[in-house]
Amino acid sequence: QKEVEQNSGPLSVPEGAIASLNCTYSDRGSQSFFWYRQYSGKSPELIMFIYSNGDKEDGRFTAQLNKASQYVSLLIRDSQPSDSATYLCAVSTGGFKTIFGAGTRLFVKA
């Protein structure tokens, strides 16, 4: 069974701090890795995707991928209260199916 694991949280950080979210996956054949943000009662929204080992930065967000360790992370710099949401890690093995983790709840305290 292919799994994507995340700490459910909640992760609480003060406004302006760096939030670090982590994810591990079980299928070594996984090729594409995604971070979605989901506000309560809303649909997932793609924040970042990454394919290659290393870091990928987009504004305040940095995704990090380590395929050898089967580990993906998301850093949010200068966290804002509006970043408070559930962050979903998702993985694809190259086909159409995307496997989601259960998500980490993030609270950014003003």
Three-state SS at 27: coil
Give the shortest CB-45-to-other proteins separation in angstroms: 7
Cβ contacts of residue 97 below 8 Å, gap of 6+?
none
* Residue 72, both tokens: 């993906």
103 touching other proteins, by CB under 8 A? yes
- Out of 19, 21, 23, 44, the only residue in the binding site for other proteins (CB under 8 A) is 44
CA 52 distance to own-chain centroid: 15
- Containing 88, the helix (H) or strand (E) segment is strand 85-92
Tell me whether residue 79 or residue 85 sits nearer to other proteins (CB atom): 85
Q: Which stretch binds other proteins (CB under 8 A): 11-19, 30-38, 65-73, 77-85?
A: 30-38
Give the shortest CB-57-to-other proteins separation in angstroms: 18
CB 103 within 8 A of CB 5: no
Tell me whether residue 103 or residue 108 sits nearer to other proteins (CB atom): 103
